[in-house]
Amino acid sequence: MRMEHISKRFGDFYANKDVSLDVRKGEVHTLLGENGAGKSTLMNILIGLYQPTEGKIFLKGREVRIESPSQAVKLGIGMVHQHFMLVEAMTVFDNIVLGDKNHKGIFIDKEARKREILALSEKYGLDVQPDRLITEISVGEQQRVEILKALYHGAELLILDEPSAALTDIEVEGLFEIMNKLISEGKSIIFISHKMREVLRISDRITILRAGEVVTTVNRGEYDGQGLANLMIGRELSASQYEKKDSQAETVIELRGAEFNKESKHNGLNGVNLSVRKGEIVGIAGVDGNGQTQLAQLVTGVIRPDQGEVSLKNSKVAVFDPDNFIREGVTHVPEDRNLQGLIGDMTIADNLVLRTTDKAEFSSGGGLFLKKGRIRNYARQMAKKYDIRCTSVEQDVRSLSGGNQQKVILARELEAGPDLLVAAHPTRGLDIGATRFVHDEMIQARDSGVGILLISADFDEILEMSDRILVIFEGQIMGEYSGKNPPIEEISLAMTGK
Amino acid sequence: MNKLTKSLSSFVVPLISILLAFLVGMIIMVCMGKNPADALYFLGFGAFGNAANFGTTLSKATPLIFTSLCACFAYRCGVFNLGGEGQFIMGSVAACYVALRSGITGVPAMILCLAAGMAAGGVWGLVPGVLKITRGQNEMIISIMLNYVATLFMGVVYTNWLRDASVPQTEAVPNETKLPRVLTGMRFTYALVIAIVVGLLIYYFLFWTSGGFKLRAVGINMTASRFNGFPVKRYILTSFIVSGAIAGLGGAAELLGTQFRLINGFGAGYGFDGVAMALIGQLHPIATMVVAVFFAALRTGSMTMQAGTGVPTSVSDIIQALVIVFTVAGMALTKLPQFEQLRYRLRSRKGGNAA
């Protein structure tokens, strides 16, 4: 398989630019890159979900156009997605033959199919039980079903997207054995992973993507983990525009040994210790999906920890409920602003006063009669102060651009006069101007004494903003670094789990 | 979209739907060899032509107003109460029991009956609410099922406990306990006044109080409401109870004002009619009341239409059904992204102020 000079443009943005990649028969070829480096786009082109803007794809030396996923399957390309695509209420057998068109008539010769499947399963040591329901089998087995399904549909080239994400360490060993068997049978594998240890062990060659472009392709052994991490992150420390502070003020929140759903590496927390003081920004760096979502929800009271304690201003929290945390002065810029932050079909004004309508300022009788005029005036002030660009504050907040929506949330959360602001991916999807605005506001809040926990998968943002940096990986805190002259190489390696 | 165009456009869909439904109805009339203009005249006359007819329309609208407000209130909190009929019936059963067995008559009895009706409806709404927030059960299925339970329970009541001699119906409520008419010569009673007051109260609560504001927020986005510290489950349960109580009050008022006794078929269909009207009224309590009157008018007028022109009342049923179908389809249409694009293009072609 060879991809030549592939580019994919969305509007003015190049998700992939002049990417060339070749995968040989019988090799494991790893794609390495940060979030948003263009790995997924490239793979989606390969399986026919996207059409490349430019470039060609060759299979076994012959140029092909892949126009749909079913065509990709026909050409022998199979993908095992990070989130499995299985019908849970059906059996393993049903899932494997699903979409198989090479049978005659309307009936499926189940016995013959089952024999084929078992033979395949035997050959590659996949060890699946065809008659079990998907819901009854372990995640590791589900993945083997996905692999078997791809093989059954005739895959010669398998794409494994973060296959170890959901697995236990023992299951990962099993996966590697299977991968070795597959390549020894002449199959090829494209392996996508963030975990340096695994990448170093299993890959024959490694292609590093950064900002949609290929940095280089290297053979195993040419670089060590640090070398690869440097290539992947690929940046020099540029001086932050903001002054870094070393706050000695009181602690606003402290987590001791906090655990949540710790079996899950990607949706859990395992023994997290951290604290945020007033007047500092603590940045949580890490690749997406290493427990950041849970951390943000834990420190805002949305979920309760299974183990460990959380203290707000030195008193232990007993009731995990967002309302309780809000009353203790915790505010939240949530990661999904439309789902978690805003009431989309309500107006800008409504969203700005969402939690404060009981106050005498906005209603009489403790909420019995809303002072709509006051609310509107307040909203107009806020729109001016936070530069919310709208035609009217009576506009539905849904109709605003992402940046302006985020400003609405920021206005609401900062005007609440918090002690702690939890900001999860606060500038995701925002343009440069809005990003700058959000950052300036956060720094201003810090300087006025707000403690800020900044959770972001954008490493630049973490470096730019944080007074202290903590790295999270598989739900664990890997290390703590100063925000002044942070050791970029060390941090980037910690983000990949080493 | 600013507020004005938003409320305008939410009027446009039902209005176009009504016109379309009438158009189809008229085509049917033409196919039957009738003159649609005559038929429509009699339809209008039967519903609004004189004080008596208008009074009948308002009387018919009263229970529909209650059940549609019941549906409206629950929908505003984002839950689907399809049990309006059961709550309505339970309300009337409770009111009937109090009216016949408490030994009180007159105004105190009326108040007691209405209160009992509200309580019974509230309890009937509480059940799906509790099951939803504690066990995550689907409130639509539970509330629909409870409709059957209520209907059958009412059957037990009128065939056994409160049976009128050997007839399968209850005795009539005492004359002194019946809700009086507001104006002589018009059939509607104080039940309508209660309905309108309830509608205005709901409007006030939803749009002018902090609690109603939060309830609407919960209804639009439960996740964001939870993240912002609202007690989402409490709002859901409350909305179910209040919604049930509104229907229950309606059942009691209907019993005391119009029907006077429980009998097979009492309240049948009101629950789902209410859901449809709430949707056509865009979940706005006042618009919902207007829609209820409109539907009642179609029902009342169709009798006159049948008598005057020979167009059967079922044509009116077809029109009513089509209004619902067109409105729901229209609302779905306006939510499509293609529709937004089309509108955007139209606006920018007008050299408009879109930019």
Count of all residues that appear for chain A in the document: 498
Q: Are B190 and B199 in contact (CB under 8 A)?
A: no
Q: How far apart are the first and last CA of chain B?
A: 13
CA triple B307-B313-B314, angle to 5 deg = 155
Q: Are A307 and A269 in contact (CB under 8 A)?
A: no
* Partner-chain contact B221 A396, CB within 8 Å: no
CA triple A300-A304-A307, angle to 5 deg = 125
Is the pLDDT score of A382 beyond 80?
yes
Type and span of the H or E element at A92: helix A92-97
Q: Which two tokens stand for residue B25?
A: 């109805």
- Residue-wise DSSP of A384-453: HHTT---S-TTSBGGGS-HHHHHHHHHHHHHHT--SEEEEESTTTT--HHHHHHHHHHHHHHHHTT-EEE
**What residues of chain A lie within 8 A of the CB of B234, using their CB?**
none
- Chain pair A-B, CB pairs under 8 angstroms: 76
Q: Where are the domains of chain A?
A: 2-233, 251-495
Residues B71-93: what's their mean pLDDT?
96
Tell me which residue has tokens 């006051």: A374
H helices, E strands: number in chain A: 16, 22
Equal fold, A2-233 vs A251-495: yes
Model confidence over A116-138: pLDDT tens digits? 888 888 888 888 888 888 888 88
Residue of B nearest to A340 (CA): B224
* Partner-chain contact B209 A321, CB within 8 Å: no
| Shortest distance, CA A395 to any CA of chain B (angstroms) | 5
CATH of domain A251-495: 3.40.50.300
**What residues of chain B lie within 8 A of the CB of A346, using their CB?**
216-217, 220
Is the pLDDT score of B97 beyond 90?
yes
Q: Are B74 and B240 in contact (CB under 8 A)?
A: yes
Q: Specify the pLDDT at position A488.
A: 85
Give the Å distances, CA to CA, from A490 to A32, A215, A230, A481: 18, 20, 9, 9
Is the pLDDT score of B3 beyond 60?
no
Cα separation, A162 vs B239, whole angstroms: 45
Residues A224-248: what's their mean pLDDT?
78
Q: Which among B3, B227, B228 is the nearest to A394, CB-wise?
A: B3
In sequence order, the β-bridge partners of residue A468 are A282, A482
Q: Specify the pLDDT at position A113.
A: 83
3 state SS for chain B: CCHHHHHHHHHHHHHHHHHHHHHHHHHHHHHCCCCHHHHHHHHHHHHHCCHHHHHHHHHHHHHHHHHHHHHHHHHHCCCCCCCHHHHHHHHHHHHHHHHHHCCCCHHHHHHHHHHHHHHHHHHHHHHHHHHHHHHCCCHHHHHHHHHHHHHHHHHHHHHHHCEECCEEEECCCCHHHCCCECCCCCCCEHHHHHHHHHHHHHHHHHHHCHHHHHHHHHHHCHHHHHHCCCCHHHHHHHHHHHHHHHHHHHHHHHHHHHHCCCECCCCCCHHHHHHHHHHHCCCCHHHHHHHHHHHHHHHHHHHHHHHHHCCCHHHHHHHHHHHHHHHHHHHHHHHCHHHHHHHHHHHHHCCCCCC
Residue of B nearest to A346 (CA): B217
Residues of chain A that touch chain B, judged by Cβ-Cβ distance less than 8 Å: 300, 302, 321-327, 332, 334, 339-347, 350, 354-355, 357-358, 362-363, 366-370, 391-392, 394-396, 399
Q: Specify the pLDDT at position B274.
A: 95
* Closest to A195 measured CA to CA, from A148, A265, A146: A265
Q: Specify the pLDDT at position B355.
A: 34
Q: Are B253 and B113 in contact (CB under 8 A)?
A: no
* Partner-chain contact B217 A350, CB within 8 Å: yes
Q: Are A207 and A32 in contact (CB under 8 A)?
A: yes
Prediction pTM value: 0.81
Choosing among 3.20.20.100, 3.40.50.10860, 1.10.10.10, 3.40.50.300, the CATH entry for A2-233 is: 3.40.50.300
Residue that wins the pLDDT comparison between B116 and A489: B116
* Partner-chain contact A363 B1, CB within 8 Å: no
Interface with chain A: mutation pick from B8, B76, B203, B209, highest number of A CBs within 10 Å: B209
Residue that wins the pLDDT comparison between B220 and A168: B220
* Partner-chain contact A350 B211, CB within 8 Å: no
Cα separation, A276 vs B25, whole angstroms: 69
Q: Specify the pLDDT at position A50.
A: 86
Residue that wins the pLDDT comparison between A222 and B284: B284
* Partner-chain contact A399 B229, CB within 8 Å: no
**Coil/strand/helix, residue A32:** strand
Amino acid (one-letter) located at A163:
P
Model confidence over A460-478: pLDDT tens digits? 899 999 999 999 998 999 9
Q: Which among B210, B224, B231 is the nearest to A343, CB-wise?
A: B224
Q: What percent of chain A has pLDDT over 70?
A: 96
Type and span of the H or E element at A202: helix A196-202
**What residues of chain A lie within 8 A of the CB of B217, using their CB?**
343, 346, 350, 354
| Shortest distance, CA B352 to any CA of chain A (angstroms) | 15
Model confidence over A7-26: pLDDT tens digits? 887 777 778 888 888 888 88
Confidence of residue A226 (pLDDT cuts 50, 70, 90): confident
